Amino acid sequence: MHDKNIKITSAFPERLRRLRRERDWSQGQLANKVGIDIQRISKYERGLSNPPLETLAHIARAFGVSLDYLLMGKSSKTDKLQNTQLIERIEELENLPKEYQETLISVLDSFIKRNKFEELAHG
């Protein structure tokens, strides 16, 4: 049922369950976010079936992780982000003109520097 070119390791079911529990989502909540029924999530978590590539992509997006991480445990810098709203905004920023991106980076740098200064002042 799944694409034979996609390597799904035996660790996938546990990784899926762990990611869901880390976010305090029920299987039903994850199913709604991914657009599938709860029974499929249950089968994926128990290792009874593997999701097709399109579903894997939806699951990875819901968790804000890469497919590499979801399937094989290989993490990237963005996999460490937990705030899905932040992840979505970052993805949208990629489509902005370069000058807008540079302006936003400057604004973000200002907030980060301010926060570090406040931590030092109160720390």
pLDDT for 43-54, tens place per residue? 999 999 999 999
pLDDT for 2-41, tens place per residue? 444 566 778 899 999 999 999 999 999 999 999 999 999 9
Q: How far apart are CA 66 and CA 75, in angstroms?
A: 7
Q: Going from the N-terminus, what domains does the chain have, and what CATH number goes with each? A: 12-76 (1.10.260.40), 84-122 (no CATH)
| Structure tokens given for 46 | 């128990």
Tell me the pTM.
Answer: 0.59
DSSP string, 54-121: HHHHHHHHHHT--HHHHHH----GGGG---HHHHHHHHHHTTS-HHHHHHHHHHHHHHHHHHHHHHHH
| Structure tokens given for 17 | 């369950």
pLDDT for 37-93, tens place per residue? 999 999 999 999 999 999 999 999 998 888 888 887 766 555 566 676 777 777 788
- Contact between 79 and 85 under an 8 Å Cβ cutoff? The reply is no
